[in-house]
Structure 1
Amino acid sequence: MAKVYTGRDGVMQLAGTTLAKVVSFQLSSNLETLETTALNEHIRSYCAGVTGYSGSATLLYYKDDDDNINTSDLLSKLIKTGTDGVSTSDTVELTLRWVDGTDNNDIKLTAYITSATIGAATGDIVRAEIAFQGTGALATASIGS
């Protein structure tokens, strides 16, 4: 029987721990191509260049039963006090997972949080929006296998 994945099948993890209350996430993979056309040629040609990964997620901002704010580990990688700024140790280990019974389709990457927005609207739940930029190779890409 065919399997159609829905949002209920999606899970986002930070360092192996599932983040509860993730509204959505997305990942983009891109390839920069390098032009190899010579001056005397009339048709452009390209070769593969550098591959990269980036994405975003929307998370609900809330306290769990132990009074921990579930999104604080992600937000604190970018929203900081003081003058030190972001350093190379401020990467996060993200897993984007689609659960299929006992099988997991995972994409794991190391990333920097490149933007973080938190806001509230009357009659709505407070949401935190993040964007991330992958650094290095994917640790796992088991989608469709």
Structure 2
Amino acid sequence: MDKLFLHHVKSPFAVGDHPKDLFVVSFSDNINTAARELQAKECLLYTRHKNLAQSLIKLTESFEFKADLKTVAFILRSLDSTSYTSYLDQMKKHCNNDTEYYQVLKNLIDDYIQKEYVPDSNGHFTDYTPYHDFHCRSKASFVKRYRSYD
């Protein structure tokens, strides 16, 4: 498996007086290459949440998935979804430790891949219901369901 790298990019587009910090996950260890990938929307993942970017790297280092990394990254980003609220951070609070959190997340992503809740060739979902359910329902129920999912 290719190694993934996390880059911190300050976007020239500010929100008020605060620059928009983006965290970019790339196959390149060069920040300039990662910035070009970001600009061309070709990077594996970009997000305002550092924990989300770190989660993708940790998941790919610890587990194998039955989908390509772009699909895994897209699912992960869609679960987290919003600019200001991290739904995954909310879910993590219901886990006993980091190991359990990553296992729950891996099981959840595997279930979505198995049920084909994956993006089409245009990068869109045909059914957003599972993501809407995750955003609106209790994160504790997802932890309970996916803690020992097979």
TM-score in terms of structure 1 length: 0.20
Q: Specify which structure has the higher proportion of helix.
A: 2
TM-score in terms of structure 2 length: 0.19
Relative CO higher for 1 or 2, CA cutoff 8 Å, sep ≥ 6?
1
Q: Specify which structure has the higher proportion of strand.
A: 1
